[in-house]
Amino acid sequence: MNPTLRMSCPVLAAAFAVAISGCAGSTVHVAPTLELSADAASATAGVAESLATSETFAPVADPLAQAEPAVLDLFDASNAMTHVRYLADVVGDRPAGSVAEREAAQYIAGQLTEWGYAPRFEEFPLPNGSSSRNVVAERTGTSSYRFVLGAHFDTKSPSPGANDNGTGTGVVLEIAQLLSESDPYATIEFVFFGAEERIDGDPDHHHYGSRARVAAMSTQERTDTAGMISVDMIGYGPAFHVRTMKRGPQTLSAELLSYATDRGIACTFRIDPGATGWSDHEAYELAGIPAAWVEWRDDPTYHTVGDTASHVRVDKVDTAGELVWGYVTGLDQARVEKLR
């Protein structure tokens, strides 16, 4: 764990038996109906910042042996499921460029703002003349390194997209909330991608959000980015995998598998055989950034109306969430150097 982890939310306080007042709360709020105002976002961020800096805890003697299980327990799949239900049951089908996709982006940005982040929308055009957007936020780290946690929130019609990919979105949101008042070693960038799914019959017409995000990264940002995880479809199926196209650095996939093995999580490598990949790790991997896709498979309701929240398995979401959360929260200098 990060020994400088700071705590001021009920979930953190409960785990460490510390009572703290003044938390902004961990409840899930309904989507805002207006665009975010920059002033409102920075004001919220300021409040969170002052809370965070006023409550610092001393490092524990042996973080790996003593504190990591407690930190792992902080990940709450039921919070992730609240996001899944909102996206699938309230917003529903949200294909690239649609009003519903924008509504989902607003919901995500609204949640991040509640937790003190200052999210921004990254607009990008689609070849059919419409446009989509990513939602991007970050928690600043203590080093110059960066690490990206990503999940797409669009769907393939007519699916309500609970597992694909309300689950990945929910897990990344839950991790963003958990990290909202910590000082990670690497800056953690949360990217919620629009337009991941194919928009027509051309198998290359997908991953627009992640391709736009990578295209906008500076040379310095690419150099500083130690890794990227795409969390995509982690709520159903018998087999848990870390996947890559094997066309970029394989350090992150190896590290994730090793992390899983050390903690008794059954997880194996499976290649992503798509010519242009099957999830948002594609652009990062092709840019030479250590990238990996975490997935439970197969889901028979994939891209159908049957992909509802009630069909998602909370235990699968929990396993994937704990793997990603545990790995990311333990990302220190030694782990970053293994990725380089």
Residues that bind Zn ion (CB under 5 A): 164-165, 232
CB nearer to Zn ion: give 16 or 124: 124
Helices (H), 115-263: 168-179, 208-215, 219-224, 251-262
Distance CA 138, CA 140 (A): 6
CB nearer to Zn ion: give 91 or 336: 91
Tell me the closest approach of the beta carbon of residue 234 to Zn ion, in angstroms: 10
CB nearer to Zn ion: give 154 or 189: 154
Tokens of 319: 């396993």
Our measurement of the distance from residue 247's CA atom to the centroid of its chain's CA atoms, rounded to an integer in Å, reads 22
> Residue 339 in contact with residue 290, Cβ under 8 Å?
yes
> Which residues face 243 on adjacent strands?
293
Tell me the closest approach of the beta carbon of residue 321 to Zn ion, in angstroms: 16
DSSP state of 12: H
DSSP state of 193: E
CB nearer to Zn ion: give 114 or 232: 232
Tell me the closest approach of the beta carbon of residue 227 to Zn ion, in angstroms: 20
Distance CA 313, CA 95 (A): 23
Tell me the closest approach of the beta carbon of residue 197 to Zn ion, in angstroms: 7
CB nearer to Zn ion: give 114 or 285: 285
Tell me the closest approach of the beta carbon of residue 152 to Zn ion, in angstroms: 6
- At 225, is the secondary structure helix, strand, or coil? strand
- At 82, is the secondary structure helix, strand, or coil? helix
Tell me the closest approach of the beta carbon of residue 330 to Zn ion, in angstroms: 26
Strand pairing report for 225-231 and 268-269: unpaired
The counts of H helices and E strands in the chain are 12, 8
CB nearer to Zn ion: give 2 or 165: 165
> Residue 199 in contact with residue 127, Cβ under 8 Å?
yes
